[in-house]
Amino acid sequence: MADVIPLRIGGHEVAFRESATQVAVAPAPGRARSLESTLQSLGTRKATERRGRLGRFEIVDMRMPEVEAAAEISALGRSRDVRESVSVYHTSDDEVPFVPEGTLFLRFEPDADADAITDVILRYDLELVSASGGFHTVRTFTRDGVRLAADLQAEPAVLLAEPDLITPRNLLSFLPNDAMLARQWHLENRGEIDGNTAGLKAGADARVVAAWRRLGSLGSSETVIAVIDDGFDLMHPDLAGKSVDPRDFIRGTADVTPEPDLFDQRGGDWHGTACAGVAMGKSGGGEIVGAAPNATLMPLRMTEHLSPLNVAEWFDYATDHGAWVVSCSWNAEAAVYPLPARVARAIHRCATEGRGGKGAVVVFAAGNSGKDVNDPPRTQNGFATHPDVIAIAACTSLDRRASYSQTGREIAICAPSAGRGGLGITTSDVTGTYIDGSGVERPRGYKPGDYYAEFEGTSSACPLVAGICGLVLGANPDLTAAELREVIRSTARRIGDAADYVNGHSTRYGHGCIDADAAVARALELAAGGAPRVAAAAPRAGEATRGTG
């Protein structure tokens, strides 16, 4: 049972509950990278979760029975990589952490004489840091700050004793209040939606809301995400007023409006709007938000077939018009499609010469056949196997592999989408109606209304990753595309069976499920000069489908 310690803080009685499973650790001098390895190893061996940084500390949650957690916390505290191991406290069921920093704010009773004051300081082994106007800042090296404050508050000579506690800023004012945010489990999965827990597992998400909190924003409008797809409803409340350089490669115009299929409502150009909503639906416009709500959309309407000339033109356009990220939720209909040299070269140019020479990040959906992306002569997805591409598999709201998701050595990471036993993705849908070939009025889009709650496939996973890449580049625009790819891979969280991973990679999950918060944290660390530049990984071995979702 966790201890509850009452303290007077700011004149109010506050109950601090000591966490039985969380600990705050700070690295020993020169051991920061070694501690990073220790925590990664612990996460591989045990059910632990890293909850982010608070000041010089990192919060680690031992998600296991209390007795076992206590043993792991004790062992971690004894590690030579750890300089400080401090208890984590909570003041309510919201689980927001409070960590004692080691200093206390102290004031003695006006009638306390010098002997009484000296007695308290010596008895509690306090170091005087500063004194001003009757207030003292003292430091403890041997006691937990919360427990020490409780003892000091019981001393007759002490008028005030408060520990200096680190806790996250309350940034709720900037977080979205869009009506359907609670249904967007892929951004933050709390294990229930409107009281329903079926198909949900708390934490089975992409950590996007946590990334927004870390950034203190919803990303940067400087970030330009090109989505190459079948059409875009730029009048949709989630997409209106946030596009740049639109291009329709069918009509040769800037009008990327989706076209209906007059004889099959399901066959209309609805896919691009859904993808754009997942990537960057804006906050406060409609009822959902994308992963990078402040990012700018470059909508590129593709032709209904793939030719090397056409595909190269799309990527050249994205390169020449300043795209930071390029999202591609499609592949070739053929099971075996080795990438033509013209296309390979255009993708390589985009990934190396785009964004002012830093390279644009190119993201492709792996596909939905459930097969290997590179198993010739049976299968070969030339887009997913291009060495400059981030190939995306899909996982579910239960942190399981989506059964349809393609596999292979070239899978970089997976990202949340629909799948067996889990929930679909809620995103933007094309607005309005049209008259079909029989004279019947039908809704434009997948379903009546402006939103679609069943978007699925690697088609949905891909723009989610694209949006997260936009967040990361907004946090550190100096990252090259190759460095960004390595950041995304190295910060992914492991899901599934540990035996699936060989040398850190799984053919099912890639390097794991994308973790927006960890990736943003790494990008910010690199921007601050707190870590060496990321080494780019070595190249990997080795008619259009209307979306792969």
DSSP 128-187: EEEEETTEEEEE-SSS-HHHHHHHHHTSTTEEEEEEEEE-----TTTS---TTGGG-TTT
Contact 238, 281 (CB under 8 A): yes
Q: Is 384 helix (H, G, I), strand (E, B) or coil?
A: coil
Pull the structure tokens for residue 463: 């723009």
CA distances from 488 to 218, 342, 391, 534 (A): 18, 27, 12, 11
pLDDT at residue number 545: 46
C-alpha span between 253 and 248 (Å, rounded): 5
Tens of pLDDT, residue by residue, the chain (549 residues): 578 999 888 777 888 889 888 998 988 898 888 888 888 777 667 777 887 777 788 888 888 888 888 888 888 888 888 888 899 998 877 577 888 888 888 999 999 999 999 999 999 999 999 887 788 889 988 889 999 999 999 999 999 898 887 776 422 234 455 678 889 999 999 999 988 999 999 999 999 999 999 999 999 999 999 999 999 999 999 999 999 999 999 999 999 999 988 887 777 899 999 999 999 999 987 889 999 999 999 999 998 788 778 889 999 999 999 999 999 999 887 777 878 778 898 999 999 999 999 999 999 999 998 999 998 777 788 899 999 999 999 999 999 999 999 999 999 999 999 999 999 999 999 999 999 888 999 989 888 999 999 999 999 999 999 999 999 999 999 999 999 999 999 999 999 999 999 999 999 999 999 999 999 999 999 998 866 565 555 444 334 444 555
- How far is C-alpha 92 from the chain's CA centre? 26
C-alpha span between 400 and 369 (Å, rounded): 17
Count CB-CB contacts under 10 A for residue 118: 10
pLDDT at residue number 44: 65
Q: What does pTM read for this prediction?
A: 0.70
Contact 389, 362 (CB under 8 A): yes
C-alpha span between 95 and 102 (Å, rounded): 21
Q: Is 127 helix (H, G, I), strand (E, B) or coil?
A: strand
| Residue 8 φ/ψ region, left for φ over 0, alpha for ψ in the -120 to 50 degree band, beta for the rest | beta
**Structural domains of the chain in order of their starting residue, each with its CATH number:** 4-90 (3.30.70), 100-166 (3.30.70.80), 182-527 (3.40.50.200)
pLDDT at residue number 544: 46
Closest listed residue to residue 230, CA positions, set 446, 385, 402: 446
Pull the structure tokens for residue 305: 């077939």
Strand partners, 84: 26
What is the set of active-site residues?
A: 229, 271, 459
